[in-house]
């Protein structure tokens, strides 16, 4: 099935009608040595039925997310997704449209983006938000590029408490620029304030500091206690960039209050499934002062000749299709479908719902950490305030424990931190969302206790599922 609109015979007739003798005549502009004579070496074409079978076979070799309570987080969370989010965002009117270049036939997408921009401004306290970012990590990198363009700084301060993969993406983006990354060490799960103050004092001009809130370990950073130079927001001063989980902002104060020049984050918690890590969508919100340095698409209210309100892309001269080599960013994407999901999610839950879901994460997380901490040999690593995620120290290798808990109890216990830092071999990052029931948390406690106690293997499901098994 290739979904083409005409048969071979029709195609030949169409060519004949325009005076082309054979299809090969159309290929005359491709030098013969580049033309492919044989077929590509690909597996045979499949019907829908066969395709379903192929996917079912592949998917049977994964864990079954519907049957596996998950305490995995680290940037991707198992939050509830209202049915209406799927139902509405999967409408072809939204999903098969493209970037709203022709505003008169794209008011659906444009109005939704305008709503999204408003909601993100409300959550972050910032003046303006775009709807263009691929994910939270690249949004953080774009925020650094904005800071660098605004204040001409050459140093980017990255605390170790920022997700290591975000740090990696920022470093990749900065390769080839005059900016370099400086790590700010961690102290009890938070950025080391003294080290930060020192870094700000000496050396070349600082472009930006990125603070993740809640941070990679789930701890809350003391945004209210950052050095004054970061909070002041002076025009050429270093930019405070806060990478904030948007769901947490139902409870936590908008980062604008702490002097953030740009607030970024990943949209995944707001109604977007994990999808193996992407697409998740990012958000990017900044101050009015930087609106002409904003990367990506921006929508504004506009009026037609009759005075009716509509919406249109605006300030397009910032963008690559007009300013080319002088553009604020090379981004062309407009993460409309992901932004739409987040918008519908926020509309459904409203201010009270967002506060409630954040509060439930808080409550369920605390119950889980208390109960898990009662297991002999298991301790919570960090003190101080935290949100939905925490680090446990286990008496043995976390990677092995996770595999056994999955194998024996069918529960995903968390993310072993050794994947990011070999020195943290016994540490486990555990996330608890509003979806984790008391019974599921209790089952994790029981499974972890049993595994650590060396109890014999139960008759549970297996992490590595065999075909047909």
Which 320-339 residues touch other proteins, going by CB under 8 A? 320-327, 329-338
CA 182 remoteness from chain centre: 23
315 binds other proteins (CB under 8 A): yes
Task: Name the minimum Å distance from CB 173 to other proteins.
Answer: 8
3-state SS assignment for residue 88: helix
* Stretch of residues binding other proteins (CB under 8 A), selected from 146-154, 198-206, 349-357, 451-459: 349-357
Smaller CB separation from other proteins, 198 or 292:
292
Task: Name the minimum Å distance from CB 257 to other proteins.
Answer: 9
Instruction: Give how far Cα 253 sits from Cα of 7, 215, 258, 347, Å.
Output: 61, 15, 9, 20
Q: Which of 199, 230, 298, 378 binds other proteins (CB under 8 A)?
A: 298
Q: Which of 211, 381, 391, 441 binds other proteins (CB under 8 A)?
A: 441
Contact between 297 and 149 (Cβ < 8 Å): no
Provide the 10 A C-beta neighbour count for residue 440: 17
Task: Name the minimum Å distance from CB 253 to other proteins.
Answer: 5
Smaller CB separation from other proteins, 5 or 456:
5
Q: Which of 190, 297, 369, 388 binds other proteins (CB under 8 A)?
A: 297
82 binds other proteins (CB under 8 A): yes
Task: Name the minimum Å distance from CB 214 to other proteins.
Answer: 10
Distance in angstroms (rounded) separating the CA atoms of residues 241 and 244: 9
27-46: contacts with other proteins (CB under 8 A): 27-31, 33-36, 39-46
Task: Name the minimum Å distance from CB 392 to other proteins.
Answer: 16
80 binds other proteins (CB under 8 A): yes
Query: Binders of other proteins: how many residues, by CB under 8 A?
Result: 211
Distance in angstroms (rounded) separating the CA atoms of residues 110 and 374: 52
Q: What is the 3-state secondary structure (H, E, C) of 373-424?
A: HCCCCCEECCCCCECCEEEEECCCCHHHHHHHHHHHHCCECCEEHHHCCHHH
Which one, of 467, 458, 465, 466, lies nearest residue 405 by Cα?
Answer: 458
3-state SS assignment for residue 158: strand
Phi and psi (nearest 5°) for 393? -100, 130
Distance in angstroms (rounded) separating the CA atoms of residues 221 and 300: 34
Q: Which of 156, 391, 402, 444 binds other proteins (CB under 8 A)?
A: 402
Residue 110's contacts (CB-CB under 8 Å, 6 or more residues apart) are 100, 103, 299, 310, 311, 312, 313
Task: Name the minimum Å distance from CB 419 to other proteins.
Answer: 8
Task: Name the minimum Å distance from CB 41 to other proteins.
Answer: 6
154-193: contacts with other proteins (CB under 8 A): 163, 165-166, 168-169, 171-173, 175-177
Instruction: List 242's β-bridge partners, or say none.
Output: 211, 263
Smaller CB separation from other proteins, 366 or 393:
366
* Stretch of residues binding other proteins (CB under 8 A), selected from 199-207, 236-244, 364-372, 447-455: 364-372
Smaller CB separation from other proteins, 261 or 360:
360
Which one, of 439, 133, 402, 86, lies nearest residue 278 by Cα?
Answer: 133
Task: Name the minimum Å distance from CB 365 to other proteins.
Answer: 9
Task: Name the minimum Å distance from CB 271 to other proteins.
Answer: 10
The interface mask with other proteins, positions 83-112, x = CB under 8 A, is: -x--xx-xxxxxxxxxxxxxxxxxxxx-xx
Instruction: List 309's β-bridge partners, or say none.
Output: 303
20 binds other proteins (CB under 8 A): yes
307 binds other proteins (CB under 8 A): yes
Which one, of 265, 270, 323, 271, lies nearest residue 292 by Cα?
Answer: 323
Cis? peptide before 214, omega within 30° of 0: yes
Distance in angstroms (rounded) separating the CA atoms of residues 11 and 118: 49
134 binds other proteins (CB under 8 A): yes
* Stretch of residues binding other proteins (CB under 8 A), selected from 115-123, 180-188, 204-212, 445-453: 115-123
* Stretch of residues binding other proteins (CB under 8 A), selected from 148-156, 186-194, 203-211, 269-277: 269-277
Q: Which of 123, 157, 199, 411 binds other proteins (CB under 8 A)?
A: 123
221-250: contacts with other proteins (CB under 8 A): 222-224, 249-250
Contact between 128 and 294 (Cβ < 8 Å): yes
135 binds other proteins (CB under 8 A): yes
Distance in angstroms (rounded) separating the CA atoms of residues 230 and 209: 8
Distance in angstroms (rounded) separating the CA atoms of residues 15 and 26: 10
Q: What DSSP state is assigned to residue 159?
A: E
253 binds other proteins (CB under 8 A): yes
Residue 351's contacts (CB-CB under 8 Å, 6 or more residues apart) are 250
Q: Which of 188, 201, 234, 359 binds other proteins (CB under 8 A)?
A: 359
Contact between 398 and 223 (Cβ < 8 Å): no
């Amino acid at each position: 099935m290739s979904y083409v609109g005409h048969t071979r015979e029709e195609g030949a007739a169409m060519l004949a009608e325009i005076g082309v003798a054979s299809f090969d005549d159309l290929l005359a502009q491709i030098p013969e040595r580049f033309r492919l004579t044989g077929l590509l070496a690909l597996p045979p074409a499949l019907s829908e039925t066969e395709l379903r079978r192929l996917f079912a076979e592949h998917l049977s070799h994964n864990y079954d997310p519907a049957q596996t309570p998950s305490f995995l987080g680290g940037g991707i969370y198992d939050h509830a997704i209202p049915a209406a989010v799927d139902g509405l965002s999967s409408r072809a009117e939204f999903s098969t449209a493209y970037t709203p270049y022709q505003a008169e036939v794209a008011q659906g997408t444009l109005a939704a983006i305008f709503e999204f921009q408003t909601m993100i401004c409300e959550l972050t306290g910032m003046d303006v938000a775009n709807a263009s970012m691929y994910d939270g990590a690249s949004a953080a990198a774009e925020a650094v590029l904005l800071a660098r363009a605004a204040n001409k700084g050459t140093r980017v301060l990255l605390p170790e408490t920022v997700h290591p993969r975000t740090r990696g993406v920022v470093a990749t983006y900065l390769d080839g620029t005059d900016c370099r990354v400086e790590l700010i060490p961690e102290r009890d799960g938070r950025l080391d304030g003294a080290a930060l103050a020192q870094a700000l004092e000496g050396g070349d001009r600082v472009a930006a500091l990125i603070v993740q809130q809640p941070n990679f370990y789930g701890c809350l950073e003391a945004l209210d206690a950052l050095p004054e130079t970061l909070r002041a927001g002076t025009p050429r001063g270093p930019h405070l960039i806060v990478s904030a989980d948007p769901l947490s902002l139902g409870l936590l104060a908008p980062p604008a209050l702490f002097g953030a020049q740009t607030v970024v984050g990943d949209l995944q918690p707001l109604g977007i499934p994990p999808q193996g890590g992407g697409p998740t969508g990012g958000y990017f919100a900044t101050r009015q002062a930087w609106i002409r340095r904003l990367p990506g698409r921006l929508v504004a209210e506009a009026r037609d000749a009759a005075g009716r309100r509509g919406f249109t892309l605006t300030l397009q001269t910032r963008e690559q299709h007009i300013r080319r080599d002088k553009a604020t960013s090379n981004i062309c994407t407009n993460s409309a479908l992901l932004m739409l999901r987040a918008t519908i999610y926020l509309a459904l839950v409203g201010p009270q719902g967002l506060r409630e879901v954040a509060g439930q994460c808080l409550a369920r997380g605390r119950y889980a950490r208390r109960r898990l901490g009662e297991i002999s040999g298991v301790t919570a690593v960090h003190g101080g305030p935290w949100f939905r995620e925490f680090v446990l120290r286990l008496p043995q290798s976390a990677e092995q424990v996770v595999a056994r808990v999955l194998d024996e109890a069918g529960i995903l216990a968390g993310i072993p931190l050794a994947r990011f830092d070999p020195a943290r071999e016994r540490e486990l990052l555990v996330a608890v969302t509003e979806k984790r029931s008391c019974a599921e948390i209790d089952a994790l406690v029981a499974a972890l206790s049993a595994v650590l106690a060396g109890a014999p293997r139960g008759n549970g499901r297996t992490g590595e599922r065999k075909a047909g098994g």
